[in-house]
Amino acid sequence: MTATGQPVTVPAPERTAGGPVPSAVVDGGPAPVVASVLEQIVARTLADPSHPAVEHGGTTLSYGELALAVALRAEELTAAGAAPGRLVAVCRPRSVETVVTLLAVLRSGAAYLPLDPTAPEARTAAILGDVCGAQAPSVAAVAEAGAVVLPGPGVAPSAAYVVYTSGSTSTPNGVVVGGPALAQFAAGAAERYGVTARDKVLQFAPLHFDASVEELFVTLTAGATLVLREEEQLDAAELLGGCAERGVTVLALPTAYWHELTYCLTGGEVRLPEAIRTVVIGGEAALPERVAQWNALVGPEVRLFNTYGPTEATVVATVAELTGHTGGAVPIGLPLAGVRAAVVDGELWLLGAGLAEGYLGREELTAARFTSLAGERAYRTGDRVVLREDGLLGYLGRVDGELKINGHRVDPGAVESVLSGHPAVREAAVVPQQTSGGATQLVAFVVTGPEGDAAPVTEEELRDRAAAELPRAAVPGLVAFVGELPHTSSGKIDRRRLAQLPARAGRAAAAAAPAARRDTEGLVRFDEEVLPAEDRVPLSFAQQRLWFMNRLEGPSPAYNVPVVLAFDGVPDAVALEEALLDVVERHESLRTVFPAPDGEAYQHVAATPDRLLTVRECGTAERDGLVEQFTAQGFDLAAELPLRARLFVPDAGGATLVLLMHHVATDGWSLPPLMRDLDTAYRARSDGGVPQWEPLPVQYADFSLWQQEALGDPERPDSVAGREIAFWRSELDGLPPVVELPLDRPRPLEPTHHGATLGAALDAEAHDRLLALCSDHGASLLMGVQAAFAAALHLAGAGPQIPLGTPVAGRADEALHDLVGFFVNTLTLRTDLSGDPDLTTLVERVRDGNLGAYAHSELPFDLLVEHLSPARSLACHPFFQVTVAVQRDTGAALPLGGLRAVLEPAGLNSAQFDLALVAVDERADDERPAGLHLWLQYSADLFDAGTVQLLLDLCLRVLRAAGDRPAEPLSALGLLTEEERAALDARRAALAPFWLRLRPRHPLLPDGPGRTPHRHDRVTETATATGAGTEVLVVDAEDAFTAMLAHVLRATGRAVRVVPVGRLTDGLPQDHRGPVVLGPGPGDPADPDDRRIGALRRLATGLLAHHGGGVVGVCLGHQLLATALGLAVERLPAPAQGVQREVELFGRRETVGFYNSFTARCDDETAAELAAHGVTVARDTDGTGVLALRGPGVAGVQFHPESVLTLDGPRILDELLTAAARRGGVPAR
């Protein structure tokens, strides 16, 4: 026995004759006897379906909602070919949808292959090729689909997932992990860590890394809540702030990240949230110094677990609790239950049912690494370990990674530990490198803490420290001070990348000026000395939103502002770059970065860089592709200037200058002063001089400070901000949170921002008539276009109240007119189409509403969102999802010295909104109308081009009618053909099941067609018929059905009350006037001795005979309804799996899953008699079995409890209530 009571055996030689002899074997104890992970999660769902399962951003899924989403997604995957033995590639960013997809793959019986959506295309292609061979789909196809059932040989039917890891080489190897191994690990780890249903566990690791398996399955099998971190939450302050906000209790972190977190905690930069009670680390060796610092700071209140485990042993094999660790080398602990650890010639071998099944398609490698020990399958880890005197395993490094310097064995981890012990060192990594003479030396890459936290440290000081504690061979030959260490996508320090960096990078980086950004494989980031807190200028309100989105989504082209200038000649590149630098010097916004040293970003005006312009010669045919590629790059606002410039010089002549800016630094009204100043500077530089211009009266930072002061305290009703907020609260009251558009696809929880643009033109005569209508009624052209666009959306079914966003300049002060910066504000314009107005009336309504909005345009949109607190989601823009704007096209060329440039359209493939209409007002030389060009940009997440083309055509028709027939009501114009209306209705009907499926996960989604008061009239009439606003009484029959049933009914937007059947001995509650729903019951519905079944049957009979007084009965346990009608009920042999049948329900053919053990029988004579009383019986085509019943006040369908969560269960339940809402009498037999 070890000192901790763990059994240790030393095998006798005769027991291992002819094979390797372990020096010790440590046994983790018997394997836990558990069901599969999905069965464990189902058990948690049935125990408490309303308990939160997954949280991400503003989205929370309960266990019941998760079960519903997984079942529906699994059905889609099964239809696509997912089945036991198949592999499903999942390439999606971290999101609730991704978690649902991973679980759905397992539910389908297939195994999942998680892919990194940010990985280089070549690596992903190599993985797909390894799995599928010549049949491999393209990387783009997998990325676009998100989840793809892969062709090829597949995997064993028992496989749960495949994770690709390079191991000790650069060749990707797919590790196949089976379902039993996963289930054993999840149960053992949950028990060792003490995770319970009361916990909230942070999901930190990328989903393609096997640490995510630990976070996902340990959490959900324990009934706890999984909290997905936001992608930008890598800074310690942001991460802990998010944990505090969410109430996270368990953290699982890469050891390298935990090292840095401990440093920040020790330095007082951050505080550990009070709710955290357990921290689990793993991935590489923990430094003794950091463990000591942690325990001294945190104490025993927070348990700290150090884990060890290769992917081939299902995530974690051994665990050591470090709470109270007294110092010295950090152990990796003892095996989990069901795992045994053997020490063979100093190498760790692992045994037990937790081992992976092997490497995908690598039989030789599998045979070499998965060997046998004393006749039992074992995995050779390649790690050197020792069994310590305290009985715990200690990690010594890699067998194949032994490092020798001048013949002396050196442990780089020991060197890192000594360097990290210096109070100024935040993080250190040591790698070997070859000198020019061929010798091996150690290079230490060191990250120091912020200035002021500790005295600065020098290379000499760190080398002296190492020399005082380590052998001479272990003293680094070079110390490089860097801004940050590179990490792999799994959070480990990327030592392979460090080893490849040239040794000269060390001293060069240390000597370089802080402001000079060096692109040493991205290692040294742009960094200047952080300003003191009292000198920091806050972000403007508009900048705050863009900075937040940049942190939330990461670098993205969604807010890029590309300016593409096609010249008639080739400019002088030297003079052009000098001119660009002059402009950047003049406009501080173009050289402002946004660091957040304490979690609060500020405007840091950086020094003007030395270089800015790059020149690219290219073929004429490839120019457009290169421009598109350049403008698609994102910005990291915390580290990069918000401006890039590239000059493309095609071989056929001319040149194209692309200025790529981030919206945080510019807006549409910034283009004239930008181009004017660039022209002035270019002329001066071309002549050998410098630009002579008047200094700008203010800079953007001045505006930010003025804005804060002018608006005042928003909480005070007498401040400018307070008065503006009061106006907008009233103005926006009652608007639908999401405008109901004719979408082609369900709205994703996290948009990709992929978009496209379609164009159309209004002829000059119609343009002229439209302007006349607007002029006659005191309206601007924008008001006329807005009225027409809103009318088009209304005719397409968007409802009578349509909110549209529009930009306003935000430059009321003349001093801002010549400044480049982000001043634009956005207004929400309410468009009222109620009462079937004519276009003249509609334009007048728009005019009056817009004038009120313009009078209150000083309040920044982001401040409005903060104080009115609409439901927030990444999926939807708050208050409006559609925008409209009008621009004037002067047709004038832009000058640059003696050259002329044409401004080309750009940035049309990135969509911030569902729809964005821009109308370009074109005029002839004499100012006569020359046509109105419409550009409609749309989100490719939501729309197909054909749908958007219909909306654009419909808008054109309204614009023409505005000049021809302005006095006729919209309904009389006949602008939508019957075929187009039918196509729009079909779109909505096709998406109806998705509304019900997605609504529980998405607070902004509408309840579904015909379920909210702002719908089109004929749809709203349907809502009234369903009785959707009344409470549903669900009778708890003590079966497995009730909890799922209540959840699904709530998912359809209905109020639900659950009452145990035992409390209904005297019938229904007197105060109930809504639908009543009964489940199938816990036993044989034909058993007269079952008290609970008898009570249910009496209720069903009573509903049939007396459902007046507003009570509507729905009996979902159709066999109960059948017995109340006098039909025979018989037991069926239990099928091995569910059967799908097509039946006639609610006037159309439906495909329903049947899993029941009982069915009712109804012969032709009985069916005819029931039909005479208004009861329709749907029977099995194979016999007389009753599949569904429907009468004037009742409806029943054959459902197994779990089938409610599959197929179209939610929609069919909703239709059952709709059918039952039609009142009438059904006599009992």
What local confidence, expressed as pLDDT, does residue 558 receive? 80
Would the pLDDT of 1204 be above 70?
Answer: no
Would the pLDDT of 616 be above 80?
Answer: yes
Strand pairing class (1056-1060; 478-481): unpaired
Q: Considering the chain, what is the average pLDDT of its residues?
A: 80
What CATH number does the domain located at 35-178 have?
A: 3.40.50.980
Strand pairing class (250-254; 278-282): parallel
What local confidence, expressed as pLDDT, does residue 507 receive? 32
537-579 pLDDT tens trace: 999 988 987 887 777 566 778 889 999 999 999 999 999 999 9
pLDDT bin (cut points 50, 70, 90) of residue 440 is low
**Residue 675's Cα: distance from chain center in Å?**
38
Find the helix or strand (DSSP H, E) in which 957 lies.
Answer: helix 945-964
Q: What tokens does 143 get?
A: 């990325």
pLDDT (average), residues 62-90: 92
Residues 100 and 1002: their CA atoms lie apart, in Å, by: 14
What local confidence, expressed as pLDDT, does residue 413 receive? 82
What local confidence, expressed as pLDDT, does residue 372 receive? 94
Find the helix or strand (DSSP H, E) in which 1142 lies.
Answer: strand 1139-1145
- DSSP code string of 788-800: HHHHHHIIIII-S
Bigger pLDDT: 956 vs 991: 956
DSSP lists the bridge partners of residue 164 as 174
pLDDT bin (cut points 50, 70, 90) of residue 747 is confident
C-alpha torsion sign, points 1173, 1178, 1180, 1185: negative
Least confident of 50-64, 449-463, 910-924: 449-463
Q: Looking up tokens 């000026």, which residue turns up?
A: 513
Determine the topology of domain 405-511 in CATH: GMP Synthetase; Chain A, domain 3 (3.30.300)
Q: Which residues contact 1001 (CB under 8 A, 6 or more apart)?
A: 59, 61, 65, 69, 96, 749
DSSP lists the bridge partners of residue 444 as 430, 479
Least confident of 237-246, 269-278, 1028-1037: 1028-1037
Residue type, 687: D
What local confidence, expressed as pLDDT, does residue 665 receive? 95
**Residue 429's Cα: distance from chain center in Å?**
32
Residues 389 and 477: their CA atoms lie apart, in Å, by: 35
What local confidence, expressed as pLDDT, does residue 1193 receive? 53
Secondary structure of residue 383 in the 3-state scheme: strand
Closest of 1036, 1114, 1046, 1044 to residue 1074, by C-alpha: 1114
Q: Which residues contact 375 (CB under 8 A, 6 or more apart)?
A: none
CA angle (879, 883, 884) in 5-degree steps: 140
pLDDT (average), residues 204-219: 93
What is the share, in percent, of the chain residues with pLDDT greater than 70?
Answer: 74
**270 to each of 230, 240, 265, 267, 552, how far by Cα in Å?**
18, 8, 5, 8, 20
Q: Which residues contact 1104 (CB under 8 A, 6 or more apart)?
A: 1113, 1121, 1124, 1125, 1191, 1193, 1194, 1226, 1227, 1228
181-192 pLDDT tens trace: 999 999 999 999
Would the pLDDT of 320 be above 90?
Answer: yes
Determine the topology of domain 1027-1220 in CATH: Rossmann fold (3.40.50)
What local confidence, expressed as pLDDT, does residue 1093 receive? 59
pLDDT (average), residues 497-525: 38
Strand pairing class (24-27; 655-662): unpaired
Angle, helices 700-711/720-732, rounded to nearest 10 degrees? 80
pLDDT (average), residues 1065-1072: 67
Least confident of 497-511, 914-928, 1053-1067: 497-511
Q: Which residues contact 492 (CB under 8 A, 6 or more apart)?
A: 254, 255, 256, 283, 284
99-134 pLDDT tens trace: 999 999 999 999 999 999 987 787 789 899 999 999
385-412 pLDDT tens trace: 999 989 999 998 877 665 666 555 677 8
CATH superfamily of 534-665: Chloramphenicol acetyltransferase-like domain (3.30.559.10)
- DSSP code string of 325-377: --SSSPEEEEEPTTEEEEEETTEEEEEETTS--EETT-HHHHHHHEEEETTEE
126-173 pLDDT tens trace: 899 999 999 999 999 999 999 999 999 999 999 999 999 754 334 568
Closest of 216, 222, 208, 137 to residue 174, by C-alpha: 208
Return the biggest CA–CA distance within the chain.
106
What is the share, in percent, of the chain residues with pLDDT greater than 90?
Answer: 45
Least confident of 300-309, 326-335, 356-365, 1191-1200: 1191-1200
Would the pLDDT of 1137 be above 50?
Answer: no
412-428 pLDDT tens trace: 888 898 899 898 998 89
Least confident of 657-671, 677-691, 1202-1216: 1202-1216
What local confidence, expressed as pLDDT, does residue 1168 receive? 74
Would the pLDDT of 340 be above 80?
Answer: yes
Residues 636 and 642: their CA atoms lie apart, in Å, by: 8
Would the pLDDT of 678 be above 90?
Answer: yes
Domains 534-665 and 1027-1220 share a fold: no
pLDDT bin (cut points 50, 70, 90) of residue 1013 is very low
**Residue 485's Cα: distance from chain center in Å?**
26
Residues 552 and 230: their CA atoms lie apart, in Å, by: 6
Cβ contact 149:136 at 8 Å? no
Size (the chain), residues: 1229
Would the pLDDT of 903 be above 60?
Answer: yes
What local confidence, expressed as pLDDT, does residue 2 receive? 43
pLDDT bin (cut points 50, 70, 90) of residue 883 is very high
pTM, full prediction:
0.46
Closest of 1079, 675, 741 to residue 900, by C-alpha: 675
Q: Which residues of 149-166 are buried (b: 16+ CB within 10 A; e: fewer)?
A: bbbbebbeeebbbbbbbe
Find the helix or strand (DSSP H, E) in which 161 lies.
Answer: strand 159-165
Would the pLDDT of 22 be above 70?
Answer: yes
Strands (DSSP E) found in 529-625: 537-538, 560-567, 592-593, 602-605, 613-618
807-858 pLDDT tens trace: 998 888 888 999 999 999 999 999 999 999 999 999 999 999 999 999 999 8
Determine the topology of domain 712-992 in CATH: Chloramphenicol Acetyltransferase (3.30.559)
pLDDT (average), residues 518-536: 57
Per-domain boundaries in the chain: 35-178, 405-511, 534-665, 712-992, 1027-1220
Closest of 238, 261, 383 to residue 312, by C-alpha: 383
